[in-house]
């Protein structure tokens, strides 16, 4: 992952509302959550939610699927895995492979 992508991801998460949205989607798991459900759960207006979801999506941390008139959102765990891998690549005295089990445990893909 290149540094500009890392910075985009970190910048996207460095906002209270976007961090809450991402964490909500992680909790929702593989079934994701409809935009209206996210807005209701977090107490935000639809247009504010939409703007923040767009930023998270551009950062590779959220993906969406249209379901009729609704859009369902999912935490993009592979994007988070890439971010964490980059942040930890110099851990363990430069032996990043030793951190692989930690990353697998943190980002279970469930």
Q: What is the pLDDT along the chain (110 residues), one digit of tens a residue?
A: 689 999 999 999 999 999 999 999 999 999 999 999 999 999 999 999 999 999 999 999 999 999 999 999 999 998 998 898 888 777 777 776 777 776 676 665 54
pTM of the predicted model, to two decimals?
A: 0.85
How far is 64 from 66, CA to CA, in rounded Å? 7
Q: Does residue 55 contact residue 7 with C-beta atoms inside 8 Å?
A: no
Q: Is 45 left (phi over 0), alpha (psi -120 to 50) or beta?
A: beta
How far is 33 from 21, CA to CA, in rounded Å? 10
Ordered by start, the domain boundaries in the chain are 3-106
> Domain spanning 3-106 has what CATH number?
1.10.10.10
């Amino acid at each position: 992952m290149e540094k500009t992508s890392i910075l985009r991801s970190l910048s996207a998460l460095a906002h209270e509302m976007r961090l809450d949205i991402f964490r909500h989607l992680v909790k929702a798991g593989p079934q994701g959550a409809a935009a209206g459900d996210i807005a209701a759960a977090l107490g935000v207006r639809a247009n504010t939610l939409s703007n923040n979801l767009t930023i998270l999506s551009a950062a590779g941390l959220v993906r969406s699927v249209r379901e009729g008139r609704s859009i369902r959102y999912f935490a993009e765990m592979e994007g988070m895995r890439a971010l964490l891998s980059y942040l930890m690549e110099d851990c363990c005295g430069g032996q990043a492979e030793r951190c692989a089990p930690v990353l697998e445990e943190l980002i279970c893909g469930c």
